[in-house]
Structure 1
Amino acid sequence: MSSQVTFKRRFPPQNDAIVSFPAPHVMLVVFNRPQVLNAMTSSAQYDLESLFSWYDNEISLRCAIVTGAGRAFCAGMDLKEWNQTNARRANGEHAGQPPMPRSGFGALSRRHGKKPVIAAVNGIAFGGGMEIIANLDLVVAAKGASFALPEAKRGVVALAGSLPRLARTIGRPRAMEMALTGKSITAEEAKGWGLVNAVVEDNTADCAVLDRPVVKAALDYAATIVDNSPDSVIISRAGIVAGWEDGSAENASRLLADNWEPALNDGENLHEGVKAFAEKRAPRWVDSKL
């Protein structure tokens, strides 16, 4: 997984994630604390916020994939760190910066962003890991993956954005079932509920990340996305996110037309796509300037 790719600015360093670029225009991020099931510290989340901000602004990149090292996608917040923070507060000490950035858990659970992020869920996605899943653009899961919001079992609440988002994605009864019982659901159940796009075979324990069926499937999705106009991908995603967040289809449609249509019409890729169709050839897209 070579990261020897030249960009205008080097990507922000990551202490708890591995960043690589396994295909043209694609970034792969591996959460890398397998010894604690990729539970995240606060510092790791702020590192990821810097990374995904860089990704949105690096014009040569068009799609990102996130997955986990070892047997978990992400087990949520590092509870040992959380306990230490609570102890400092109880002693009247200043707890420092908020435990997660404005873009939410793992810098993804409340991220609006500009470009798509795909989850390749290789194992458990619990707590904050589930909150990340609830806000990503596409989700591919291995058969053995499982999903849960067990916060109520620990006396806490999933406050990183997943609860209202899940109500819209899987419906109130199923969202209530997950949040109030803390039960886990299988990858097949998650697909049936509309939370997951595809379920693929599990990988062997010693399988390299790029050889995992779930990562290969995510890379296939990414390859299809980057073959399309990067302008169209960004604007199409913005339209779906606007409708999902706002709740009004008409208002989202108006905002999409007002905010994005002029830029689309003025961009090179719209004209290239139409011209390529007329000339019966494959389009030659340029990096989006949106």
Structure 2
Amino acid sequence: MPFQTPPPTLQYAKLTFPTPHVLLVTLSRPKQLNCINTAGHHELHAVWEWMDAEPDLRVGVLTGEGRAFCAGADLKEWNDTANSNSQAQSQSQPQSPSQQRTTPSTGFGGLSRRSGKKPLICAVNGLCLGGGCEMVVNADVVIAAQDAFFGFPEVQRGVVAWAGALPRVVRTIGRQRALEMVLTGRRVSAEEAERWGFVNEVVPGNGQGGGGDAVVKRAVEVAGVIAANSPDAVVVSREGVKLGWEGVGAEDASRLLLDGWAKRLNDGENIKEGLRAFVEKRAPRWVDSKL
């Protein structure tokens, strides 16, 4: 598959391209339950930036290798960092904000605060806790294995879900359910998460097979359906929903969408191709988005 720029070099994840225009990213620290360390956060940030900039890619899928999607932050690294910070403070050597930052501006895994341009699907193949759950909260579509479960156990470790999920999860599942999750730290099953609107679809069967299991297969199928649509229309439609979800009023969001995107969409090749294909009763032949 030809790309304008080569994909980032990764140590803690694997990149594959299972179907045209779809990027599959598999977290690859199975012995650590795919906990993400500082380097891993920045690797993933680079991947999503590359995906957004690469014309041939239209949808991303994120999953985990082994029995976990992602168990959150690398607490061993966090503990070492906390001890180092404590020692620096005792020696009157305060760290700068840039030294203290362990995640990029786009949040945990480059995803929990990502705005981005192209849709991203989480294929939750198993355990999904802490920062893993923060990534899922900000995903565009969530497909979960039947035996997957979700939780915010931060309060049980004396820490807080800083990476963007707290103000976002309440918009997805409501105040009381959000507070139940983040204040008790209890684990929520895939079926319960689906009832709450946290998960789009639950895939029957065991999700512990890793990157080749049924949940990934289903997520790639959904990604393929999205990728078969006009890439321009997908980008703009996602932006409209995102504006509303982020708290912009309906009329303000509509105006922002029209003012910022309508002319660019209408001047593009894909809207012309879609209308022409409809009239000619054939499948459209989309070109890569230039938005």
Could you tell me the TM-score, scaled by structure 2's length? 0.95
Partner of 2:275: 274
Q: Is it true that 1:218 corresponds to 2:219 in the alignment?
A: yes
Partner of 1:228: 229
Partner of 2:105: 102
Structure 1 CA distance for aligned equivalents of residues 286 and 261 of structure 2: 18
Partner of 2:12: 16
**Cα distance, 1:247 vs. partner?**
3.6
Identity across matched positions, percent: 52
Structure 1 residue runs of 4 or more that deviate by more than 4 Å after TM superposition = none
Aligned partner (choices 198, 209, 214) of residue 211 of structure 2? 209
Aligned partner (choices 15, 23, 26) of residue 27 of structure 1? 23
Partner of 2:261: 260
**Cα distance, 1:185 vs. partner?**
0.3
- Change in Cα spacing, 1:183 to 1:56, as seen in structure 2 (3 Å) is same
CA contact (8 A) 2:106 2:114 kept: yes
Per-residue CA deviations over 1:35-74 (Å, capped at 9, x if unaligned) read 0100010111001111110100000000000000010000
Secondary structure at 1:255 match in 2: helix
**Cα distance, 1:204 vs. partner?**
6.9
Structure 2 CA distance for aligned equivalents of residues 250 and 155 of structure 1: 41
Structure 2 CA distance for aligned equivalents of residues 264 and 8 of structure 1: 23
CA contact (8 A) 1:67 1:73 kept: yes
Secondary structure at 1:156 match in 2: coil
Secondary structure at 1:91 match in 2: helix
**Cα distance, 1:97 vs. partner?**
5.2
AA aligned opposite 2:156: K
Per-residue CA deviations over 1:12-38 (Å, capped at 9, x if unaligned) read 111100001111000000000000100
Structure 2 CA distance for aligned equivalents of residues 74 and 208 of structure 1: 12
Per-residue CA deviations over 1:156-195 (Å, capped at 9, x if unaligned) read 1111111111110100000000011100100000000001
Structure 2 CA distance for aligned equivalents of residues 286 and 127 of structure 1: 39
Partner of 2:143: 140
Partner of 2:187: 184
**Cα distance, 1:202 vs. partner?**
2.8
Q: Which moved more, 1:173-182 or 1:246-255?
A: 246-255
AA aligned opposite 1:198: E
**Cα distance, 1:208 vs. partner?**
6.0
Structure 2 CA distance for aligned equivalents of residues 240 and 64 of structure 1: 18
Structure 2: runs of 5 or more not aligned = none
Q: Is it true that 1:153 corresponds to 2:149 in the alignment?
A: no
CA contact (8 A) 2:67 2:207 kept: no
**Cα distance, 1:203 vs. partner?**
3.4
Q: Is it true that 1:70 corresponds to 2:66 in the alignment?
A: yes
CA contact (8 A) 2:146 2:207 kept: no
AA aligned opposite 1:61: L
C-alpha RMSD of matched pairs (Å): 1.2
Secondary structure at 2:254 match in 1: helix
AA aligned opposite 1:278: V
**Cα distance, 1:216 vs. partner?**
1.0
Structure 1 CA distance for aligned equivalents of residues 61 and 254 of structure 2: 28
Q: Which moved more, 1:110-119 or 1:196-205?
A: 196-205
**Cα distance, 1:263 vs. partner?**
0.5
CA contact (8 A) 1:246 1:252 kept: no
AA aligned opposite 1:166: V
Structure 1 CA distance for aligned equivalents of residues 73 and 220 of structure 2: 27
Q: Is it true that 1:243 corresponds to 2:244 in the alignment?
A: yes
Structure 1 CA distance for aligned equivalents of residues 204 and 196 of structure 2: 19
Structure 2 CA distance for aligned equivalents of residues 190 and 286 of structure 1: 37
